[in-house]
Structure 1
């Protein structure tokens, strides 16, 4: 895997395609609004709807978020469930957008199918930075115990190292500098082994730029991964960094149409089962 365009600072000044309109909820443009915020009184005034998948089909956004939830489940359970289709989806719109998505997934080991329920919220916390946060990802049917233990994601339980504003793009000397033990460059064999969810991270980062374009992400795939560096606070073994519960990924990739991109993906958890957060930012080069 070549170094490619590995820049000291990603350029964020490139204009986005003019045909792509910004569809993020207007209320979330306020930079003081955090995607993890618990409901306040005004959030109880909302629009809720069942999305008719038979009539319209699942929007790529719903499929993408369903894959995020399935990735959360696989990380938690050590499984490798594969998405087959979206069965149904409810959307609740406040200052954030919340989805309750039911998926049909397959276990490639036993070739058996199952249903997975995902509850996910997403918002633009700051302009150009998207947060996708799961508060539940479980197999159906649910047990009473699982229903009783449904809580919202609590940002204050996240390791302090991974809070606050998104980090800047990685510097050239990160792998050799003072904090070099915090970094690890993913090698080719690991890239092939973990390709599915690394592609998901790249796609989610590009979605933060192109979210209004229904077909844009499909036309941009497959991605050519050029370089991926993962950072953790702990100086743990390299293979543990890749699968760490809290980590920051710096992904340099190219779309099928030749667009070079740098994505920063911050993965965190608050320690509660089914709670998982991906904060992403993308720079078009």
Structure 2
């Protein structure tokens, strides 16, 4: 419940705002129970989960645990989400999540806190700056000499597609074996589910993502970024059987970039997903694959046989933004006239 203060003199409202923010900062945003939100203040709304919680919040809670495990070398697993506080005033929200985590080795339960910031609505651009067991201090504070530029640049650009098929063995990309995929399924699936959930916020709020089937996974072994740790670009080929979300384009790909800046204390995920369009022409089946558009023969073939609209020439940049802006993809987000065949969960 959020209480708003109105009808107070201006000076009194300013005093109440300062008092409110002081109380919020004491708990770093994780405990706002009973705090009235002054008018026009950047307030937080409290949500108690009880036995159920939004699947999107569950994904954000898993992201916080993943960040903690990756940085600290731990293996905490989510048990349940107790509550979360959500920022108001913007479509891009910050979530202050309190959950219960379990250590599989000892079976001990502990309260865990994490903060996840949405930097863009409807796209996978997430930042996790706080992830810790309750009682621990914030181990990743911002250092005075931290270089913010690498992080800012990566948050405003989507990861690139390689010039060749990333799911075939090459010097640039390593394709995971089935055994390796099973060993790393938890975080790979988390990245994929976040990419799908983030880009489908407007379709009946969200759809169940547990039906996603991972086909192949490749990791760019040549990508590095100076000043950043845990840097990686992951390519995921998967099938999505939810017709209300993707129509007939069940064969899809996702690309996710992750990086961690110790000085800023930020762990970030940036990525997108899109369909591999199949079209028949002259008894041929042309499978549109983004990485093939750098080969002149395939650009010409795509133009002649698939009906895709090409610009005069394909520039050297290989960002996902370029592909989405230059080509007409099937609309995955406005399937009118169809009833959802997936369980609506948000």
Instruction: Report the TM-score, using the length of structure 1 for normalisation.
Output: 0.68
Contact 2:239 2:252 in 1 (8 A): yes
Contact 2:223 2:231 in 1 (8 A): no
Correspondence list, 1:141-220, <5 A: 141-143=135-137, 146=138, 149=141, 155-158=148-151, 162=154, 164-173=156-165, 180-212=170-202, 216-218=206-208, 220=209
Contact 1:122 1:133 in 2 (8 A): yes
In 1: Cα distance, 2:140 partner to 2:155 partner? 28
User: What is the total number of aligned residue pairs between the two structures?
Assistant: 224
Instruction: Give CA-to-partner distance per residue, 1:81-131, whole Å, 9 cap, x none.
Output: 111111111111344311111110111111111111101101327xx5321
In 2: Cα distance, 1:113 partner to 1:52 partner? 19
**Aligned match of 2:255 in 258, 264, 275?**
264
Match of 2:217 in 1: 228
**Aligned match of 1:85 in 80, 86, 106?**
80
**Aligned match of 1:137 in 127, 131, 140?**
131
- Kindly name which structure, 1 or 2, has the bigger radius of gyration based on alpha carbons: 2
Instruction: Give CA-to-partner distance per residue, 1:30-85, whole Å, 9 cap, x none.
Output: xxxxxxxxxxxxxx84242111323x942111111111111101101222211111
Contact 2:166 2:218 in 1 (8 A): no
In 2: Cα distance, 1:174 partner to 1:86 partner? 37
Q: 1:273 to 1:191 in 2, by over 3 A?
A: farther
Q: 1:148 to 1:233 in 2, by over 3 A?
A: closer
Work out which structure has the larger RCO, using CA pairs closer than 8 Å and 6 or more positions apart in sequence.
1
Contact 1:232 1:246 in 2 (8 A): no
Contact 2:100 2:110 in 1 (8 A): yes
Instruction: Report the TM-score, using the length of structure 2 for normalisation.
Output: 0.57
Contact 1:157 1:271 in 2 (8 A): no
Answer yes or no: is 1:279 the counterpart of 2:270: yes
Structure 2 gaps of 5+ residues are 1-39, 244-249, 277-346
In 2: Cα distance, 1:199 partner to 1:175 partner? 17
Match of 2:44 in 1: 48
Structure 1 gaps of 5+ residues are 1-43, 236-243
Contact 1:135 1:150 in 2 (8 A): no
Answer yes or no: is 1:252 the counterpart of 2:237: yes
SS, match of residue 245 in structure 1: strand
In 2: Cα distance, 1:154 partner to 1:119 partner? 22
**Aligned match of 2:60 in 56, 59, 65?**
65
